[in-house]
Amino acid sequence: MTSNKQFIAIDLGSTSISAMAGEMQPDGSLKILGLETKIADDIKYGIVEQRTGASSKVIDLMKLLQNSAKIKEISMASVAIGAKTMKLATVSVSRFVGKTNIVSDELLISMIDECRRNFQHPSLDIFDIIPISYHLDNKSIDDPIGKSGVQITGSYHLVVGSTLIKANLGGCFDRTGLIIEYTPMAIEALSTVLLEEEDQANGCALINLGANTTTLAVYHDGVLQQLLVIPLGAKNITKDIQELGISETNAERLKCIKGCALESLIQDPINIQIPALNPTEPQIKIPTKFLARIIEARLEETLQPIFDVISSLNFPLSSGVILTGGGAKLGNIVDFFEEKLSIYTRIGNHSGWLSDDTDEKYLDPSYAQLIGSIILTHEYRELHPIDETIKEPSKKPKIPKRFTEMVTQRVFDYFKDEHKLE
């Protein structure tokens, strides 16, 4: 069994499954003990589609990680959740304060519980409930606890997504024998290690450039204001390059080594010769300027919905745009965002969370989610000691199948539009 300071995090990606072992140090930094990865196609857009295949790979990864991280036994792990079906819905709950006319912490907790109790949708689960604002006797108030008043109204963002996310994840891990210790949201794991409180307060856009999905999370006033997952990613760029008549492997290598996100930045164009997919045909000659044109066109198509959201914001992104994920390693990707948005952009940096002896390879932005998952699981375990967790893993109460009038009409409007799930 892992010690109380050791943690296992699993990333169920669309192209690979990765597992990381880490140990929290006395100074609060994270020492990475090991990392194992297996190529996989069992997960699609954040949902486990092939439970048997995914569980088999997870079992193999745990065996490999036990050896590489020198852990005697692995009994539980955390898994960050992120899928294309996840989005925000806004609801409000109103309450009379009660006889004391003093707002208590218990009252605010009960209002959040009411959001969960009253939510009902046949194909959606709640993954998080985020307070946005409070009004006490129709006056806006940042921190209502301890304040006096008659009626309080809270507005909340519900992070919702397909019921298949939890159901299929549970079905997968039932086959592994592992306990799921904690399931943070993927974007929460990333924001924990990549954003400062000041970033979230001043306004920023965190963009995760994944292989098959691209995720936008907009923060302002310390609150998640927008969440958008697009079912396109860096892998689509590889497929476009592959259309030139070369293998997927060579297309990926070409993208990573010679790819550029802006055609205008190719100052000294050259031709690159790549073996044709058909070995009987001559080598394919690909100009770097044409390669950049392909990449820029796909990026524009993929990111247009994100650009639309950012351009429609009614508050500034004073802390700019922060990029992460494997796609953030694409050449001149920062220049691309700054040209298209005219907003300061940077690559996210999680190095401040790692111990001084950390191998430089773990500074790669593609590891930020795993590292953030471990940090959040450590915080969770501080409140739920390991012995209690093993005896009875944390479970959220079942959601009653009813809606009440305390949920605003805005929720009903939200589910009448195009938000149908596959």
Q: What is the pLDDT of residue 312?
A: 97
- What average pLDDT does the segment 210-234 reach? 94
Q: Do 151 and 225 have their domain in common?
A: no
Of 3-17, 49-63, 143-157, 381-395, minimum mean pLDDT range: 381-395
Q: Report how far residue 240's alpha carbon sits from residue 139's, in angstroms, rounded to the nearest whole number.
A: 54
Q: Residue 352 is encoded by which pair of tokens? A: 């401040």
Pairing of strands 87-96, 43-44: unpaired
Q: What's the CATH code of the domain at 14?
A: 3.30.420.40
Average pLDDT over residues 310-320: 97
Q: Is 307 helix (H, G, I), strand (E, B) or coil?
A: helix
Determine, yes or no, domain membership for 401.
no
Q: What backbone phi and psi angles, to 5 degrees, belong to 162?
A: -55, 140
* Whether residue 120 sits in one domain with residue 32: no
Residue 356 inside a domain? The answer is no
271, 277, 300 from 244: Cα distances, Å: 14, 9, 20
377: pLDDT strictly greater than 50: yes
Nearest-angstrom CA–CA distance, 399 and 409 = 19
Same domain, residue pair 119 and 171: no
Specify the CATH number for the domain of residue 115. Answer: 3.30.1490.110
With respect to residue 354, please indicate whether it lies within any of the assigned structural domains. Answer: no
- Please count the structural domains in the chain: 3
224 pLDDT higher than 50: yes
Same domain assignment for residues 317 and 245? yes
List the domain range (segments joined by +) for residue 104. 87-162+408-414
Alpha carbon distance 109, 344 (integer Å): 38
User: Which helix (DSSP H) or strand (DSSP E) does residue 396 occupy?
Assistant: none
**What's residue 406's pLDDT?**
30
Q: What's the pLDDT at 402?
A: 29
CA atoms of 297 and 63, how far apart (whole Å): 42
Residue 258: phi, psi to the nearest 5? -120, 0
Assess whether 190 and 304 both reside in one domain. Answer: yes
Residue 419 inside a domain? The answer is: no
Considering only 79-83, 341-345, 389-393, which range has the smallest mean pLDDT? Answer: 389-393
Q: What angle do CA 76, 81, 84 make, to 5 degrees?
A: 155
pLDDT-derived band at 257, boundaries 50, 70, 90: very high
Both 237 and 337 in one domain: the answer is yes
Residue-level pLDDT at 408 = 32
Nearest CA among 8, 22, 10 for reference residue 358: 22
| Mean pLDDT estimate for the chain | 89
Residue 360 lies in a domain: no
Q: Read off the amino acid at residue 404.
A: T
Residue 420's pLDDT band (cuts 50, 70, 90): very low
Confidence of residue 137 (pLDDT cuts 50, 70, 90): very high
Of 165, 133, 136, 161, the C-alpha closest to 151 is 136
Gyration radius from the chain CA atoms: 23
Position 157 in a domain: yes
Residues 337 and 199 in one domain: yes
Rounded average pLDDT over 5-16: 93
pTM (2 d.p.): 0.86
Examine the domain organization and report whether 193 and 326 are in the same domain: yes
| pLDDT band for position 3 (cuts 50, 70, 90) | low
Residues 219 and 227: their CA atoms lie apart, in Å, by 9
Percent of the chain with pLDDT over 70: 91
User: What does the pLDDT read at residue 146?
Assistant: 94
3-class SS at 379?
helix
Burial zone of 52 (CB within 10 Å; 0-12 exposed, 13-18 middle, 19+ buried) = exposed
**266 and 308 co-located in one domain:** yes
DSSP of 341-365: H-S-EEE---GGGB-TT--GGGGSG
pLDDT band at 421 (very low <50, low <70, confident <90, very high): very low
206 lies in some domain: yes
- Angle of helix 288-311 relative to helix 333-341, nearest 10 degrees, comes to 50
Return the pLDDT at 99. Answer: 81
Specify whether 32 is located in the same domain as 136. Answer: no
Q: Are residues 33 and 173 in the same domain?
A: yes
Number of H helices, E strands in the chain: 12, 18
Say how many C-beta atoms besides its own lie within 10 A of residue 294's C-beta. Answer: 18
209 within domain boundaries: yes
- For 298, the token pair is 């796909």
> In this structure, are 209 and 305 located in the same domain?
yes
